[in-house]
Amino acid sequence: MTYIEGIEWLDSKVAPFDSSQLGAHVTNGGTRFALWAPTAELVEVALFEEGSQKEIRLPLEERDGPIWHGFIPGVSVGQSYGYRVHGPWQPELGLRSNPNKLLIDPYSHSITGELKNSPEIYAHQSIDEIGTGDLWIEDFRDSAQFVPRSVVTDAKPRSIKRPDIPWRQTVIYEAHVRGLTAKNPEIPEAERGTYKALAHPSVIAYLKKLRITTLELLPIQAFLTEPVLKARGRENYWGYNPIAFSAPHRGYAATKNPIAELQETIDKFHESGLEIILDVVYNHTAEAGISGPTLSLKGLDDATYYRHISPMEYEDVTGCGNTLDTRNPNTLRLVIESLRWWSDVIGVDGFRFDLTTAISRSDNQIDTNSEFIYAINDDPVLSKLKLIAEPWDTKGYALGHFPNPWREWNDAYRDSVRQFWLADSASNSSSGVARLASRIAGSDDIFGGRGPTSSVNFLTAHDGFTLADLVTYQQKRNEPNLEDNRDGSDHNRSWNCGFEGPTDDSSIIELRARLQRSLLATLLISAGIPMITMGDENGRSQAGSNNAYSLNPNLHGESEANFNGGWALNWSQDDHLFSHEDSITSLLEIRERYLSELLSSFFTGSVSLENRRKDIAWFHSDGLEMKLTEWQDESKRYLAFLMDATKRQGLYVVLNGSQQEIEFVLPNAFWGDTYRSIFDSAVKIDTLNPALKKPSDVILISPSSVQIWFVNRN
């Protein structure tokens, strides 16, 4: 054993212990440490004094195969530490051990400190802060003062009282921890943008007012800003760059104990009948590509944790430089134990998996029955939680191929609805209504055999235009990211309504507001699980950015100028025209009252033996059912249908995607005795004048609008 000058050592050896649990575990009189490092020749635990660079290194002298372990007396909760892994530096063979680089414990539940850009954070010899240098030469500079450290914790699994909201009743609201609460004036300023703020009574009341059931949080796993991004003077805002899968991001904590703070927030949500699910990132880490920093897994066992094309080239299907290799049992174990920690200790109700296909790949292709999927489906706890897949990565697409109980983000829904309402108007053309009808009816062409609740329907998400920007911009405006506007999608299916950007033209402003209400109405009466993106209910804009993942920390208010304040929800929204809260509430009340059961199964169009009516019927503007030939008419810019909600009730819906007012004849008396209007996107809810009509009466549908009529039968 080599003793390094200037480092203080303890005289006592580390006592052995059972290595069945990886990570750091507090026990009587000390802490047990266990680490998977199969290629290591020596593993040391590096202990640090609080607020100091003073370091004590202790060797883990017991080894069970690839697991190094030991018990350190006197180490308790709050102790910061890292690992030093000694072993071969042979990058040509995929061996990258470098004891000069302090490593984060992959099983950490708490991380302290920030990543500081410097050449020292790279295991190879770098000449700058972004890793430029010779990948073959080992770097001997110490990284401890530049990298985050793990912290010993002792949180245990606990009793969780979940609301267990059925999928058919689920309404998801996707939000960012900081963005949701940072501008809420009812929350004490010091607590805004934190886990604690999420559970403030005003936030819970707001979500319940909107009739939201499930809050989906953008990543809260401990994450870092990429060195390249930081070198551009930007910070990672979204958080899709994890460094410790099981540690709550400390930057979102109002207190010194993020774990307890988050647990309390989860409990308050559950007491209010609300769920929280997490957007989790297990497909890659913040260690980036081969030339990226060595912070954890890369220094422990690069060949085990990451997918490789060759020892010097990662297989990157994430676009982030590396891809986690869940084909390896130890890597898979890390992911499963992380998920169980979030569910059993923190208490979350489910997960949305970022780039799920990247971590469910076999040797050569996406495998939606992979060991990763099987391990989750076979787990007695995880299999009962809400599981949502993002069914694509940068090199593959698998929408509709995940097994039960998984649900999937349905981008085909997003694209079809945007095409009908926006893209066709922008190009003054038509794509017909066949695909739109299929999406509204639950996408049985994609999820046949699994049911419409397999589809998570969305118009917008964190990635892309906001709802307001969809009707304001034809072109993306991502210049603030300093990537020359190359980033972000170029295929947005948006429409600026005749003018690019904000305008004072009242007719354009009114059209944009109407289109937003029409888009929301389509989403909320469609079969499937609706997801609303934070701020779409009140006109949140990112000034045309469709990739608002970064912030300029040097600007006041965390990039107010970057995205027109659009990174956060505006709680003092005073623009009545662009406030759609009442519309969402009304639409979700309609959905809950009439459609909750109906939309949990696919429409078949078959005739009921009891009442001789179809469960869904599609109508021409003359009040007669559409003929088969009319589905092939690509000039069609409207869609009308009647859903048979109960024996005595139904809903008649008309979508007019054209720029002209259209006359419609209501279906005849066979379908209903009276028709009462209950929603019209052409007007605000508080100005709606509920009209009563008889069968076969004529109604007028405004341009770019949706009408919903309650059908009553005596």
Q: Is 615 a catalytic residue?
A: no
End-to-end CA distance of the chain: 90
Picking from 41, 141, 125, the residue whose alpha carbon sits closest to that of residue 91 is 125
Neighbouring C-beta atoms of residue 633, cutoff 10 Å: 13
Tokens matching residue 410: 């349905």
Strand residues in 290-445 grouped as ranges (E): 308-310, 313-314, 350-353, 386-389, 392-393, 396-397, 407-410
269, amino acid identity: F
Q: What are phi and psi of 256, to 5 degrees?
A: -80, -5
296: its two tokens: 């954890």
The one-letter amino acid at 658: S
**Is the preceding omega at residue 405 within 30 degrees of 0, hence cis?**
yes
Alpha-helical (H) ranges within 75-176 are none
Structure tokens at 127: 């000449």
Of 420, 441, 588, 435, the C-alpha closest to 515 is 420
In this structure, what are the phi and psi dihedrals at residue 684, rounded to the nearest 5 degrees? Answer: -70, 150
Coil/strand/helix, residue 129 = coil
> 399 with 392: CB under 8 angstroms?
yes
CB-count burial class (<10 Å; 0-12, 13-18, 19+) for 219: buried
In the set 390, 536, 615, 680, the catalytic residue is 390
Is 129 catalytic? The answer is no
CA atoms within 13 A on the CB side of 171: 23
Strand partners, 392: 397
Contact 129, 119 (CB under 8 A): yes
For residue 308, what are the β-bridge partners?
Answer: 314
The tokens describing 17, both together, are 């212990």
Q: Provide φ and ψ at 327, rounded to 5°.
A: -70, -25
Angle at 99 between CA 95 and CA 102, to 5 degrees: 110
Per DSSP, what are the bridge partners of residue 300?
A: none
Are 180 and 198 within 8 A, CB to CB?
Answer: yes
The answer to whether 266 and 291 have CB atoms below 8 angstroms apart is: no
Q: Could you tell me which residues come within 8 angstroms of residue 420 by beta carbon, excluding any fewer than 6 positions away?
A: 431, 433, 436, 639, 655, 657
Closest to 155 (Cα-Cα) out of 335, 25, 35, 23: 25
The alpha carbon dihedral of 380, 382, 385, 390 has a sign of: negative
* Residue 445, both tokens: 């062409």
Three-state SS at 102 = coil
Under a CB-based contact definition with an 8 Å cutoff, are residues 96 and 298 in contact? yes
Compute the distance between CA of residue 429 and CA of residue 423 in angstroms, rounded to an integer. 8
> Using an 8 Å Cβ cutoff, are 249 and 113 in contact?
no
From 325, 354, 558, 680, active-site residue: 354
Gap between the Cα atoms of 300 and 309, Å rounded: 19
Whether 227 contacts 234, CB under 8 Å: no
Compute how many other C-beta atoms are within 10 angstroms of the C-beta atom of residue 500: 13
Rg from Cα positions in the chain: 28
Planar angle of CA 548, 119, 97, nearest 5 degrees: 105
- Angle CA(413)–CA(605)–CA(694) in degrees, nearest 5? 100
Rounded to 5 degrees, φ, ψ at 629 are -65, -30
Instruction: Name the residues annotated as catalytic.
Output: 354, 390
